[in-house]
Copies of this chain bind each other. A is one copy, B any other.
Amino acid sequence: MRVAGLPPLSKLGEFGLIRYLGGRFGRTSASVLCGIGDDAAIVQPLSHRELLVTTDLLVEGIHFQSGTASFADIGYKAAVANLSDIAAMGGSPDYILVSLAIPPQRTTQNIDQLYHGLMEACRREKVDLIGGDTSASHQALFIGVTLIGSAKPGHALRRTGARAGDLLYVSGTLGDSLAGLSLIENQRGRGDAKLPREHRRYLVGRHLRPTPRLRLGRILSSTKVATSAIDISDGLGGDLSRLCEASAVGAEIDQGAIPCSAACRAYAALSHIDPIQLALRGGEDYELLFTVAPRHARKVKQLARQAKCPVTCVGVVKPKAHGIQIRQRTGILKPLNVQSYEHFQNTKRPAKHR
C-alpha cells in the first residue's frame, strides 16, 4: 500500500517523521500504557512470564542492498531476523522498537514502505510497535530493531541443552534463501533462464520474505520436547557449530538427509552446484535447528504436523571429542568444514545476519 503525497523528510523533520510513523504504525494493545512519543515506552509485562529480548543492527550494503529488494522487503526481513530469534527461544514476540539512520537520498515514501514491511511481518503475531529513534546518516541506511517477547518460566529453549544421543532436527528446507539471492543478484546468470518460473518465484520469495517458525518454536518449548534450539540465520554449518559449542557437544549429520526444496535442487542442478553446499553455507533461511531426546522421535513429527511445519532429522548429537562430522553420500564421515559469513574479514559471502 502506497501513501500519496507524503511530505519530503526535510519538510517533515525528525519529530514530524516520528509523529507520522507513530500515528500510522504505532500499535497500542492494552498492555502498552505509553507508546511512541515519550522519553520511553511503558508496558505492563504479562504476569508469570519470562522476558525475551533480542536486537539486530542491519546495514545497507552489508545485510541488504536497496537495489535488489524493495523497502517493504527490507523492513519485512529486518522484523523476521528478530522474530526468528524469539521463535528459536520458543517464545511469543510482544513489542518491537525500530531505529533508523537515514541517508539524504531516502524519501519519506521509502521509510513509510520500510515500516509497512516491518509491521506486515509483525501483524500475524500482534506485535506492538512501541518506540524507536530516527537520525540522519551520511551514506548508508542503518536499521536497528529490538524485539521483546515472553515465554513460560523455565520453558525458553536455549542453545545449551543438547546432550550426546539427542537427535538433530531442522524445520522446512535449507538453501532456498541463498539460491533466491543468487537469482536476484545474477538475473541472467548460470542456468537461471532455464529455471521454471514457479521455482524462481518460490526461491526469491524465500529470500525476501522468509517465515519465522514461531508456532513450531512455541510447541517445542511448551511440550518440553526439544532440549535445545537455534535459528539458522547463518547456514546449517555455522549455526550447528554454535549450538554444539554452547552445549559442549559434537555432532554427526547425514548429508543425504538435509532437506532441500525441489526448486533449490533444480536451481543447483542448472547452476552445476551442490544444493547441500547452499544448505550448509547459505544464510537467512530462518529455519530452526533443534535437538530432541530419541524417545520423543515420534512425538516431534506429530507436533510438527500440529505446527504445520515439516521437520527432518538430519543427524545425531555426539560427545564433544567427536567434533562435528558429516556423513557423505558415499558413507564416508568427514569433518564438517564450517564456512560462515565473517563480518570483519571482507569475505564475499552473501548478506545475512545474526
Contacts and interface: CB of A to CB of B under 8 A. Distances in A.
Contacts of A354: 14, 133
Contacts of A159: 37-39
Contacts of A104: 346
Given A59-B101, A62-B136, A140-B138, A54 B33 contact: no
A61 interface: yes
Contacts of A44: 50-51, 153
Contact of A246 (B38, B57, B142, B160): B38
Interface in A31-87: 33-34, 37-45, 47, 49-59, 61-63, 84-86
Contacts of A344: 9-10, 12-14, 17, 102, 136
Interface string A116-152: 0000000000000011111111111010101111010
- The bracket for how many chain A residues form the interface is 35 or more
A15 B151 CA distance: 26
A43 B51 CA distance: 5
Contacts of A263: none
Q: How many monomers of this protein are in the complex?
A: 2
Interface string A220-239: 00000000011100000000
A110 interface: no
A19 to B, nearest CB: 9
A99 B57 contact: yes
Contacts of A45: 45, 49-51
Contacts of A102: 343-344
B137 A137 contact: no
A135 B59 contact: yes
A219 interface: no
A97 B146 CA distance: 9
Contacts of A9: 344
Contacts of A13: 342-345
A310 B251 CA distance: 62
Interface of A: 9-10, 12-15, 17, 33-34, 37-45, 47, 49-59, 61-63, 84-86, 88-89, 91, 95, 97, 99-102, 104, 130-140, 142, 144, 146-149, 151, 153, 156, 158-160, 229-231, 242, 246, 342-346, 353-354
29 contacts: A9-B344, A13-B343, A34-B156, A34-B158, A38-B89, A38-B246, A39-B159, A40-B149, A41-B53, A41-B54, A42-B158, A53-B146, A55-B132, A55-B133, A55-B146, A57-B99, A57-B133, A57-B135, A59-B135, A59-B136, A59-B142, A102-B344, A133-B353, A133-B354, A138-B140, A139-B139, A139-B140, A142-B144, A146-B146
